[in-house]
């Protein structure tokens, strides 16, 4: 057992339906994942890729077909109670009993986990998610953002070292998304390991230390966010001439230059094959006077599309 790992998954498989039948669905095909303690780990993939199935297996809601999974060092089969006590799941769907208050909901949830009354931290948790002033209000009176935070609070009643956020900002506005990002960082600084599933690539790039990309039930990439972005040897340079161009000079066409609507020169290039200096030299040879220029780096969306497109071919 690696004591540095919060989650350790090896050869995880899940087949829905009768194994070997034509109607069986192979949802997971030998997933291997390692999540370091204290990290923010992103689990990315298109709908139906296997993200939710993986999470549900870790939470004890779905039985795996094959492989092993450990939560905070506890095998989910051999030590299920300890494994479940070590993880909190924040689901994507918002559902509450309209006639319960946040305080009542947390007390009830703590009871489900067998937390003795003397050890419950209901008000402390409500204060941490900025809901203490709404502790005795009906949940139906809470805003969408408050309900999201209450979901996080429910997942924290048993003080789990791992918190899984399943699409936490799906369908929420930009301001609420930023607030949730801030809260995720706060939890992480408190020592909580965060596993984040999302299809918002900006979210993963902003928050995550490491990222795994799942497609068709398989891990197709897993690395630090920095290294993943470094795998794309691609940049874009945009050159604004003193006067907008109406056509690309012949010498620039040879390096794949094009024009945008503003009459600017756009060159998409690989730094390992073509330097910015060489591009500027070609522009000078074309007698184009430069007023300004800018470069654009590749982002996580580029690598996500590149990997998933290759998988779908």
CA distance 91 to 227: 29
Q: 68-97, pLDDT tens digit by residue? A: 999 999 999 999 999 999 999 988 778 778
CATH superfamily of 1-86+161-232+299-313: P-loop containing nucleotide triphosphate hydrolases (3.40.50.300)
Q: 142-166, pLDDT tens digit by residue? A: 988 888 889 888 999 998 999 998 8
Distance of CA 204 to the CA centre of its chain: 4
Q: What is the mean pLDDT of residues 22-26?
A: 87
pLDDT at 5 over 60: yes
Q: 161-177, pLDDT tens digit by residue? A: 999 988 877 666 777 77
Which residues partner with 70 through β-bridges?
Answer: 8, 75
Binning pLDDT at 50, 70 and 90, where does residue 179 land? confident
Q: CATH for 235-297, among 3.40.190.10, 1.20.120.550, 3.30.70.100, 3.90.110.10?
A: 3.30.70.100
Q: What is the mean pLDDT of the chain?
A: 87
Q: Would the CA dihedral through 146, 148, 152, 157 be positive or negative?
A: positive
Higher pLDDT, 31 or 92: 31
Which residues partner with 42 through β-bridges?
Answer: 196, 211
CA distance 310 to 81: 40
Where along the chain do its domains lie? 1-86+161-232+299-313, 96-159, 235-297
CA distance 64 to 56: 9
Which helix (H) or strand (E) segment is 53 a member of? helix 51-58
CA distance 88 to 115: 14
pLDDT at 313 over 50: no
Q: Which residues contact 47 (CB under 8 A, 6 or more apart)?
A: 199
């Amino acid at each position: 057992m690696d004591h540095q790992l919060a989650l350790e998954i090896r050869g995880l498989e899940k087949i829905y339906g009768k194994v070997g039948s034509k109607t069986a669905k192979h949802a997971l095909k030998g997933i291997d994942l390692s999540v370091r303690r204290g990290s923010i780990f992103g689990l990315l993939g298109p709908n139906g890729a296997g993200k939710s199935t993986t999470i549900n297996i870790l939470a004890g809601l779905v039985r795996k077909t094959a492989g092993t999974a450990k939560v905070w060092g506890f095998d989910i089969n051999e030590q299920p109670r300890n494994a479940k006590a070590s993880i909190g799941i924040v689901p994507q769907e918002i559902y509450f009993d309209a006639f319960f208050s946040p305080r009542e909901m947390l007390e009830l949830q703590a009871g489900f986990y067998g937390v003795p009354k003397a050890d419950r931290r209901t008000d402390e948790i409500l204060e941490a998610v900025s809901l203490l002033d709404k502790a005795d209000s009906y949940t139906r009176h809470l805003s969408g953002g408050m309900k999201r935070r209450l979901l996080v609070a429910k997942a924290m009643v048993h003080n789990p070292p791992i918190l899984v956020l399943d699409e936490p900002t799906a369908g929420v506005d930009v301001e609420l998304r930023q607030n949730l990002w801030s809260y995720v960082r706060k939890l992480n600084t408190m020592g909580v390991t965060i596993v984040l599933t999302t299809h918002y690539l900006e979210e993963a790039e902003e928050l995550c230390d490491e990222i795994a990309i799942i497609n068709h039930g398989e891990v197709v990439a897993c690395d630090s966010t920095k290294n993943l972005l470094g795998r794309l040897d691609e940049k874009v340079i945009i050159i604004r001439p003193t006067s907008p161009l109406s056509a690309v000079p012949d010498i620039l066409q040879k390096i794949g230059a094009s024009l945008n609507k503003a009459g600017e020169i756009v060159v998409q290039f690989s730094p390992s094959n073509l330097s910015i200096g060489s591009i500027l030299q070609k522009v000078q040879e074309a007698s184009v006077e430069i007023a300004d220029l800018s470069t654009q780096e590749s982002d996580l969306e580029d690598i996500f599309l590149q990997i998933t497109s290759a998988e779908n071919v």
